[in-house]
């Protein structure tokens, strides 16, 4: 199956945004050795894709809310059908169908962005300013647009270069190997960090799943994917890493907004006023870190009024000798 339609679509969006920034006066070559028009084109490629996928993202949040609300019923089914995995799976699928909850919806927005990522990766890999290269009209690009994108740089590092670029590739791009490795290395670390934060934000806000399979997926997204980027990031062009980091930052902001608009449901394990210490509800920061709950002040002991001057004591001490009458 040909993926040319994806490459044409990605190229068209990039060129449209580059033309827009060029039309409002963003120079092709600016200070600090950065071609801001192309950098902004990649950033707004993210914005375009995320705006298109926003309704699906909201459905993802609602589906995760439904899955979280069903956790007590899922746990009851696991206890009921312990040892009978086939019956358990059938009962759980029926429960999800009845309650209109989709376990796969949590990964759908990420999967839908994979073609965009692969398309950008393929397009940037084709960029090569070598004068001997004759095929410069890829996916609707003119020769001038091709040469402009091939020369685009971020702090003097070409956006088509990568941490693992060979000496031949660096020579064709006219790049300094040390500069490329420093820029790519820093961006890969930022990419790993922001990828971890996006997963951590969602898990801490929605809670860990009771279902072992769902919990395993959560752990994979939280730790496995960021660690895998340490290796795979070496083959990503700098322009692709810019896309990934921008996408993560967009996700952090979008998740924070949606999580505030659609707060997590209250379940049997998270009753209001009982999840924190001393019966208080802990608050959470931007990335879901729980802040210590403030214990309510202890009620003051009731004051006991003393006897009025000259009044007889209410409970005279026993065993006190009586006064003699003279």
Residues paired with residue 154 on neighbouring β-strands, in sequence order: 157
3-state secondary structure of 153: strand
**Confidence band (pLDDT; 50, 70, 90) for 185?**
very high
pLDDT in tens, 79-127: 888 888 888 888 888 888 887 777 766 667 777 788 888 889 988 888 8
Give the chain's mean pLDDT: 78
pLDDT in tens, 201-258: 878 776 777 667 778 888 888 899 899 999 889 999 999 999 999 999 998 998 888 7
**Confidence band (pLDDT; 50, 70, 90) for 287?**
very low
Taking each helix axis from N to C end, the angle separating 36-69 and 4-23, rounded to the nearest 10 degrees, works out to 120
In degrees, to the nearest 5, what angle opens at C-alpha 165 toward C-alphas 160 and 167?
Answer: 120
Long-range pairs, 122-126, Cβ under 8 A, ≥24 = 122/3, 122/7, 123/7, 123/10, 123/11, 123/14, 124/159, 124/160, 124/237, 124/239, 124/240, 125/160, 125/237
Tokens of 46: 């993210």
Dist. CA 154–CA 162, nearest whole Å:
12
Evaluate whether 112 touches 53 at the Cβ level (below 8 Å): yes
Lookup result for tokens 């039309």: 23
DSSP per residue, 262-311:
SPPPP-TTS-TTTSSGGG-PPEE-TT-PEEPPPPPPPPPPPPPPPPPTTP
The stretch 32-54 carries a mean pLDDT of: 91
pLDDT higher than threshold 50 for residue 145: yes
For residue 186, what pLDDT is reported? Answer: 96
3-state helix vs strand vs coil in the chain, percent to 5 = 65, 0, 35
**Confidence band (pLDDT; 50, 70, 90) for 297?**
low
Q: From 198, 261, 221, 266, select the one nearest 58 (Cα to Cα).
A: 261
Of 13-17, 73-77, 212-216, 273-277, the least confident: 273-277
**Confidence band (pLDDT; 50, 70, 90) for 163?**
very high
Dist. CA 242–CA 39, nearest whole Å:
8
Instruction: Say which residue, 215 or 20, is predicted with more confidence.
Output: 20
**Confidence band (pLDDT; 50, 70, 90) for 182?**
very high
For residue 44, what pLDDT is reported? Answer: 96
pLDDT higher than threshold 90 for residue 41: yes
Q: From 222, 215, 170, 167, select the one nearest 195 (Cα to Cα).
A: 222
Q: From 245, 239, 174, 243, select the one nearest 35 (Cα to Cα).
A: 239
Q: From 308, 263, 325, 305, select the one nearest 288 (Cα to Cα).
A: 263
Q: From 248, 242, 236, select the one nearest 199 (Cα to Cα).
A: 248
For residue 229, what pLDDT is reported? Answer: 92
């Amino acid at each position: 199956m040909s993926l040319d339609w994806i490459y044409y679509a990605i190229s068209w969006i990039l060129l449209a945004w580059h033309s827009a920034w060029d039309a409002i006066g963003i120079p092709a070559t600016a200070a600090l050795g950065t071609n801001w028009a192309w950098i902004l084109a990649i950033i707004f490629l993210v914005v375009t894709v995320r705006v298109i996928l926003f309704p699906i993202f909201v459905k993802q949040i609602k589906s995760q809310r439904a899955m979280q609300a069903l956790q007590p019923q899922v746990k009851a089914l696991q206890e009921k059908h312990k040892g009978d995995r086939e019956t358990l799976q059938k009962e759980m699928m029926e429960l999800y169908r009845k309650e209109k909850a989709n376990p796969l919806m949590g990964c759908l927005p990420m999967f839908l962005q994979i073609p965009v990522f692969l398309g950008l990766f393929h397009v940037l890999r084709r960029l090569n300013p070598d004068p001997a290269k004759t095929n410069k009209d890829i996916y609707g690009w003119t020769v001038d647009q091709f040469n402009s994108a091939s020369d685009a740089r971020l702090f003097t590092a070409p956006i088509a270069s990568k941490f693992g670029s060979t000496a031949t590739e660096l020579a064709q791009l006219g790049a300094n190997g040390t500069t490329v490795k420093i820029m790519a290395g820093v961006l890969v670390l930022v990419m790993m960090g922001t990828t971890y934060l996006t997963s951590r934000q969602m898990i801490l806000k929605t809670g860990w799943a009771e279902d072992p399979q769902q919990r395993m997926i959560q752990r994979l997204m939280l730790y496995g994917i960021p660690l895998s980027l340490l290796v795979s990031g070496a083959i990503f062009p700098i322009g692709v890493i810019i896309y990934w980091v921008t996408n993560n930052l967009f996700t952090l902001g979008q998740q924070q907004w949606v999580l505030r608009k659609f707060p997590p449901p209250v379940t049997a394990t998270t009753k209001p006023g009982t999840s924190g210490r001393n019966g208080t509800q802990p608050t959470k920061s931007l990335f879901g870190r729980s802040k210590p709950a403030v214990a309510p002040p202890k009620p003051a002991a009731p004051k006991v009024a003393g006897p009025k001057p000259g009044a007889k004591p209410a409970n005279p001490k026993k065993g006190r000798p009586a006064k003699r009458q003279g």
